[in-house]
Structure 1
Amino acid sequence: MDEGSEPDAVWHTVVSGRAVDLPATLPTIRAALTPAQAADLDAEIARTPALDLPLVLARWALAPTEAAAEDEAVFARLASGDFSDCVSAGSDEPLPPRPEAS
């Protein structure tokens, strides 16, 4: 890195139990996407209110990862009534697994 230059901005998160660094500038997010995804990103940014831009950028930064599939699996588990590993409001203790139907 040259003196006075800034390091690339990154977001740190966890996907599928692994620490992941995500691109955190518009050019680096676009570079991580396919050309079709980058075009979709540009179209979405053009119609997104400024206050919502960080959320949109974070979602697109996660696009090349397995985050969406991981989220869908969690939503399916919750929809089936399995709330294991969930924490009740007002408690730090995970809920017990749902008993199996006999």
Structure 2
Amino acid sequence: MTDDFMGPPWQADWVEAASAYRDALPEEVRKKIRDGMADLVTARNPYVPQDELPEGFFLEPARSSRPKGPHILSFDRGRGWLRFTFVPRVEDPQIVVEEIFWQ
């Protein structure tokens, strides 16, 4: 075993329903989602991005009792959100987007 832990950028995987919902959103909303995801996949720890998130974004745990569990990335000043988990495997670590919503 080596000490080489894979770092960012992480792979991003979308659950099929979340991907279909994202693809049906208007282009300007999809661009906002891409901007937020770009910060997550390049952060050393996606649950605590070192760089500031774009304006209108904020990040919080889905449940305060599970700080390493699913997180919510709110975008478009709270009009939308996506729920994701980070799977920090030694091989192929990834961010899994489980659910998305925008109004």
- After TM superposition, is the score higher than 0.5? no
Rg larger for: 1
How does the TM-score come out when normalised to structure 1?
A: 0.30
Q: Which has the higher contact order (CA 8 A, sep 6+)?
A: 2
- Using structure 2 for the length normalisation, give the TM-score: 0.29
